[in-house]
Structure 1
Amino acid sequence: MGRALRTLLLIAGALIAAAAVAGRAEEKKAAAPQLPERTCFGVFTRSDLEPLMGDGEAVTVSGPTDARLNAQRRSATCNVDVDGRGRVLVAATRQPLGQSFFWPPTDRSEPAPEPLALGDRGILWDTGARVALTCKGAADSFELELSLSGSVEHMKPGTSRALFTSLMTKYLESAKQQTQCGV
């Protein structure tokens, strides 16, 4: 075999090997999944939840279209999964006035949760937030608890609490309107 032919075969082999490695790298890192434009009771936009999605192919959103709670419909939950793995959980629960929500003590894990200055009582973790408030209105009064949590494994460390504070602020305003809290 001539030297030029051997060189061409080596180059071709190297290009084929490089293409195979690049193909495997693309297979391992799937593109970010496409979220609906609005999700979870119509509260969150695609860009609100994208930091919690990570990589994947198929997004599944389950739950009602709104959080309009009343004495008969006392709770609503929205789940967002990517390729069958939970990424976001958003919930609202309504109870009769005077039946406050019990929050078990938090474990001593690091970093510790911190108070969240929303509603009557709020708490914030690296993986989510919870808020409770009393809704007193002319026609109806009740207790309302809002919670949201998400998978933060794809986020830059130290950024999740700011995201969950922002998400809960948006969720609280929308949930108050949808449940007619204080109306």
Structure 2
Amino acid sequence: MRTPRLVVALALGTALLTGCSDGKQSAVPELPSSTCFGVFTPAELAPFMGTGDEVRVDSSADLSLNVSRTKAICTIDVDGKPRLTATAQRRPAGQEVTWGSEVEKHRPDVLPYADQSRLWDSGSAVVVPCKAPEGDFDLVLFIDAVPDGLKQEERRPAFAALMKKFMESARQQTGCGA
């Protein structure tokens, strides 16, 4: 029996989330008090928002994933430019993980709190094994953002902290008893 493979294809997110500036100075945009499934605060996301006038948040209200609702996505744009994407996907337990060349080219680290994970300068991804009464499953969590508000040495620690909070909230909201 072959094990299905999961390729975490982050090329789209990484390619889209490239910071650019038109030379015009704007203020840091104001975010809602709770963003992306109710997980993140404006202070946690501020380093990724850059400057601009108009913030657009497109997000599910929560991460209550189940066998019928298997994916939740949050995107934040500032002045029409992508700044942050966070996704959570529920999938069958035990599938092999292949991170893909788009992730590996960033020379990622493994998160200290998650074996099946990657951490790079503009994002993080993790596979969380979960136990539930209706059957075991895996949560695949992904964050990609434009970190131009952070110094180089601050980027990976910032993404590690965001992912830890995201992972804890996703476990709770999905009933993951890992």
Q: For the Cα contact (< 8 Å) 2:29–2:54, is it kept in 1? A: yes
TM (norm. structure 1) is 0.79
Kept in 1: contact 2:47–2:148 (CA 8 A):
no
Tell me the CA shift for residue 96 of structure 1. 1.5
Partner of 2:135: 140
CA distance in 2 between counterparts of 1:139 and 1:28 reads 53
Which 5+ residue runs of structure 2 have no aligned equivalent? 1-22
**Counterpart pick for 2:45 among 36, 46, 49:** 49
Distance of aligned partners of 1:101 and 1:66 in 2 relative to their CA distance in 1, 3 Å threshold:
farther
| Structure 1, unpaired ranges of 5+ | 1-26
Q: What is the alpha-carbon distance in structure 1 between the residues aligned to residue 104 and residue 177 of structure 2?
A: 36
Partner of 2:4: none
How many residues are treated as equivalent by the alignment? Answer: 156
| 8 Å CA contact 1:94, 1:142 repeated in 2 | yes
Q: Percent identity?
A: 40
CA deviation after TM superposition for structure 1 residue 163, in Å: 0.5
Partner of 1:31: 27
8 Å contact from structure 1 (residues 90, 147) kept in 2: yes
Matched, 1:178 2:169: no
Report the counterpart of residue 94 of structure 2 in structure 1: 98
Cα separation, 2, equivalents of 1:124 and 1:28: 32
Between stretches 130-139 and 57-66, larger displacement belongs to 130-139
Quote the residue 2:58 is aligned against. 62
Q: Decide whether the 8 Å contact of 1:118 with 1:131 is kept in 2.
A: no
What is the alpha-carbon distance in structure 1 between the residues aligned to residue 57 and residue 119 of structure 2? 24
Matched, 1:78 2:91: no
1-structure distance, mates of 2:61, 2:115: 26
> Taking structure 1 as reference, are residues 167 and 144 closer, same or farther at Cα in structure 2, changes over 3 Å only?
same
Give the structure, 1 or 2, with the largest relative contact order (CA under 8 Å, sep 6 or more): 2
Q: Structure 1 CA distance, aligned partners of 2:110 and 2:128?
A: 14
Structure number with the higher helix fraction is 1
